[in-house]
Structure 1
């Protein structure tokens, strides 16, 4: 077939292909995003030097989940000369001590130690925490002592330097939580239950690897000797996702199936739906089972828990309704002390104030968008520019009541915003929000819609009004400089998890939180707080502004 290369049509195709490749190269090298990235690179070189002279690009690469394995092993284990680092905790001895948790013997709610419930959930860190919270509430309602589980790292973390399980004390302040309710360790559960669970509660079909996961994290198996209860009182066999593999065949094990409708169960119905006299119970990938959108709780009791925990008494909890108890579980499941204190220091020293906006954008390539979510078709259309405009629009709304006070520009109105995002364009967005021309253009459209075009002289001038955006690069620099690995090694077990937990706490403490609907990470940050705005609401407002600008 050598003769084909001499045919005219072949020559034409080759010319067209070469021209197409030339156009692609020109578009890449002249693209605005590339120019922005180059400006970001130059801008990062002008920032304050940090230890080992890491710039924004290096930090971003370190924090990228897919890059974590090789980078973490290099930075955690060795110095630049190749010598092994001697880790100490001289800057944070209290944090290290508190991670060594021991069950409290004087909780406000003492549950039956002969009946336990264990949350087995392998659906990601945030869903694991939600499952743990629900297990605590189910334990309170059914008088079962809660077993503190071993958590798993995020499935995209590849830090082989550490064991795969994550101690619960690194995600929850167990010392604080144990003041509310009695809990036991996995070791105690194994002694009580002879390494076998008696009964399970299941919401969704389990994956094939559930049995190995359960054995690895709990040391227990589904080996009930009470299979005679199958077919009675609503108990059925366990359901699996796949039936064609023999390894997926479940054992003869009594399970009570929960409703598959998300958040369908009322908290008042938990005691009935999770009933069983069998002592050793396990939640099988069960989470987000009952609604948390309710009112009717006792605000006086919640205020005691938030403002003066020492005034909260056993009598308060005995008389509390189920909705109040559920909210108390959320209040008592705080992040570990080191996470809260690092977040507080960052907010005070770097962001320089308690009033700020936080925004979480969850929708990267790993987010699974089910068709029932109304925003699925819009996700791929959202670009860095749109998120930058969302930040400026939300900041304008946040400070609209303060404009008259600073209208003469004697004092610059600076709006502090923290962006937590799963995407990799956070530095691009930061650069856009700092660009004066970009700010002036978005305000031209906003003020046009509001009929306040005369205010462009104020909002379009960064000497009068501007956004200061912070992200995980700023947070990493702060932690790395104030609590370096060699002097506070206890917090550096997993860099990605450390950053994610502190970011979540920063969002929780914000004045306004712009959250990502259907994100468990956002859901955790929203617990116990108000002033939460769905990001799609701001994007809808932005779409209206752009539509009016195009018409007129």
Structure 2
């Protein structure tokens, strides 16, 4: 009996210990999930500096208060353009972070032309980060700056004014049901739809030319502007056309899937703010208004502060070169292959890191203007910062190696951005303010670094570069001056072709 009792006792304790271990694992797993979904993801950086001599320091101090969520009292801000306080437009943003910013530009334009107060929307993380998470407005844009330009209301205010439901949907392009459901979750507002209509994956409307509005069986009007054969039929930016297309007295509107429905584009233009004497909005030309809108959408103050501190500590001057090479196989090339732009993909895959380096050296004015070099006292070194997707880190390092070998005056910015951010002050701000996405922070800071550079080699067909270029200007002696920019792809393509031609000639001589 004693022996059997001992075996029973041992078995019972083993079972108890096993159950405790399982429960402990489940609890730890739960808190890990909660930590991730709540936006307080633990970030693993290189070890923080233990001595001020290890990493360059900056005179600019990082202030964690600029990271915190604003009070959302945006309706109290005095706006340059005042819109109707009882009619609203919520931008339904889709695709990647920079596509979402373009969607915001176009939504602001539509809100102004329709005289509807803009609802400051929520954004989303990039799909490459895994499951897409909702991102608060203050983690992507400077809300105060935007709302000082145009009448705004917070999502909370929108929900209250509209009694928790949106009564009209403006269909900018083909809208997937999963996107519309996301807009509902982000706003915590309801769009009434019957069960039969929920079975459809798309909201499909008539073409833009049709003057008839389409109403579903639930009597919720949809104002389509897209042909059901394509997602990208453009809507004229003419304000009469916009008002006629979305003609309704309904107060609470969703602008569904507002990526790029308008004919307005920012490429090659400068985003200059409106003069204070612009009082009659309807008289402002379309392109002029659109550029002012782009100027109103700036990156958060904390991001600008971090970029300034990084430049001050690691470069020390605005006379530096910034390069954006976007063309990774994981994202950019995959999308373009799907769009059947095979020729462009083939060009990019044939360009080497040395081609890119030679393109920079050959086309950087600072290296070829002796007077400029002497007057700026930069004969010894020219700092270069290169931004690439994480998957192209090795390619970036190869470009730096070739740059330094080709011209001894070129120097790499000494400290990588992620290492710089390992400083404890950044970790303190990050951990105490609930930001959702670390890749967002890195990307936004790099965009500010590109914007502040004197010389910018941008990536053709990249919304990341496109959202930087219009803001690269300076005012000198009362005149607007555009800062230097050039397409790194076009320049590298020229170098590549010359290299291939030269190699063929050498081969023929042999």
Q: TM-score, normalised by structure 2?
A: 0.71
Q: 1:371 aligns with which of 323, 335, 339?
A: 339
Rounded to whole Å, the distance in 1 between the matches of 2:428 and 2:214 is 53
Q: 2:164 aligns with which of 184, 190, 195?
A: 195
1:429 maps to 2:375: no
Rounded to whole Å, the distance in 1 between the matches of 2:370 and 2:383 is 15
1:157 maps to 2:135: no
The equivalent residue for 1:402 is 369
Question: What secondary structure sits across from 1:503 in the alignment?
Answer: helix
Question: What secondary structure sits across from 1:513 in the alignment?
Answer: strand
Q: 2:495 aligns with which of 528, 539, 542?
A: 542
The equivalent residue for 2:251 is 279
Question: What secondary structure sits across from 1:419 in the alignment?
Answer: strand
1:131 maps to 2:103: yes
Question: What secondary structure sits across from 1:334 in the alignment?
Answer: coil
CA contact (8 A) 2:421 2:427 kept: no
Rounded to whole Å, the distance in 2 between the matches of 1:332 and 1:501 is 16
Shift of 1:479: 2.3
Rounded to whole Å, the distance in 2 between the matches of 1:122 and 1:411 is 44
Task: Tell me: CA distance 1:195–1:491, structure 2 relative to 1, closer, same or farther (3 Å).
Answer: closer
Shift of 1:347: 1.9
Question: What secondary structure sits across from 2:294 in the alignment?
Answer: helix
Output the aligned Cα RMSD.
Answer: 3.8
Rounded to whole Å, the distance in 2 between the matches of 1:482 and 1:412 is 35
Task: Tell me: CA distance 1:487–1:221, structure 2 relative to 1, closer, same or farther (3 Å).
Answer: closer
Task: Tell me: CA distance 1:287–1:171, structure 2 relative to 1, closer, same or farther (3 Å).
Answer: same
1:236 maps to 2:214: yes
CA contact (8 A) 1:196 1:222 kept: yes
1:312 maps to 2:265: no
Task: Tell me: CA distance 1:425–1:537, structure 2 relative to 1, closer, same or farther (3 Å).
Answer: same
Rounded to whole Å, the distance in 2 between the matches of 1:165 and 1:295 is 28
Specify every segment of 5 or more residues in structure 2 that has no aligned partner in the other structure, as ranges. Answer: 1-35, 49-60, 198-204, 473-481
Question: What secondary structure sits across from 1:533 in the alignment?
Answer: strand
Q: 1:353 aligns with which of 317, 321, 326?
A: 317
1:533 maps to 2:486: yes
Q: 1:338 aligns with which of 302, 312, 320?
A: 302
Rounded to whole Å, the distance in 2 between the matches of 1:340 and 1:95 is 10
Question: What secondary structure sits across from 1:425 in the alignment?
Answer: helix
- RCO greater where, 1 or 2, for CA within 8 Å and sep 6 or more? 2
Question: What secondary structure sits across from 2:381 in the alignment?
Answer: strand
Task: Tell me: CA distance 1:285–1:141, structure 2 relative to 1, closer, same or farther (3 Å).
Answer: same
Task: Tell me: CA distance 1:263–1:468, structure 2 relative to 1, closer, same or farther (3 Å).
Answer: farther
Question: What secondary structure sits across from 1:505 in the alignment?
Answer: helix
User: More displaced, 139-148 or 359-368?
Assistant: 359-368
The equivalent residue for 1:267 is 237
Rounded to whole Å, the distance in 1 between the matches of 2:282 and 2:419 is 47
The equivalent residue for 2:81 is 109
Rounded to whole Å, the distance in 2 between the matches of 1:251 and 1:347 is 56
Specify every segment of 5 or more residues in structure 1 that has no aligned partner in the other structure, as ranges. Answer: 1-67, 81-89, 239-249, 306-310, 441-458
Q: TM-score, normalised by structure 1?
A: 0.66
CA contact (8 A) 2:171 2:224 kept: yes
CA contact (8 A) 2:357 2:402 kept: no
Shift of 1:112: 0.9
CA contact (8 A) 2:273 2:296 kept: no
Instruction: Report Cα offsets for 1:305-352 as digits up to 9, x if no partner.
Output: 5xxxxx724637565333222111111111111111211222232122
Question: May I ask how many residue pairs the two structures share in their alignment?
Answer: 420
Q: 2:427 aligns with which of 462, 465, 485?
A: 485
CA contact (8 A) 1:171 1:336 kept: yes
Rounded to whole Å, the distance in 2 between the matches of 1:98 and 1:210 is 25
Instruction: Report Cα offsets for 1:64-106 as digits up to 9, x if no partner.
Output: xxxx99xx844479x99xxxxxxxxx95244145744421432
Task: Tell me: CA distance 1:218–1:155, structure 2 relative to 1, closer, same or farther (3 Å).
Answer: same
CA contact (8 A) 2:72 2:154 kept: no
1:524 maps to 2:502: no
1:362 maps to 2:355: no
CA contact (8 A) 1:104 1:182 kept: yes
1:387 maps to 2:357: no
CA contact (8 A) 1:361 1:421 kept: yes
Shift of 1:507: 1.7
CA contact (8 A) 2:214 2:222 kept: yes
Rounded to whole Å, the distance in 1 between the matches of 2:252 and 2:429 is 43
Instruction: Report Cα offsets for 1:93-143 as digits up to 9, x if no partner.
Output: 441457444214321222112111111123121122221221111111110
CA contact (8 A) 1:117 1:281 kept: yes
Shift of 1:190: 2.0
* Structure 1 segment 68-147 matched on structure 2, within 5 A: 73-75=41-43, 92-96=63-67, 99-105=70-76, 106-147=78-119
Task: Tell me: CA distance 1:267–1:201, structure 2 relative to 1, closer, same or farther (3 Å).
Answer: same
Shift of 1:356: 2.5
Rounded to whole Å, the distance in 1 between the matches of 2:378 and 2:189 is 63
Question: What secondary structure sits across from 1:275 in the alignment?
Answer: coil
Shift of 1:172: 0.7
The equivalent residue for 1:21 is none
Rounded to whole Å, the distance in 1 between the matches of 2:356 and 2:244 is 45
CA contact (8 A) 2:91 2:254 kept: yes
Task: Tell me: CA distance 1:487–1:375, structure 2 relative to 1, closer, same or farther (3 Å).
Answer: same
Rounded to whole Å, the distance in 1 between the matches of 2:372 and 2:297 is 40
CA contact (8 A) 1:417 1:469 kept: yes
The equivalent residue for 2:188 is 219
CA contact (8 A) 1:343 1:506 kept: yes
Task: Tell me: CA distance 1:254–1:316, structure 2 relative to 1, closer, same or farther (3 Å).
Answer: closer
Question: What secondary structure sits across from 2:322 in the alignment?
Answer: strand
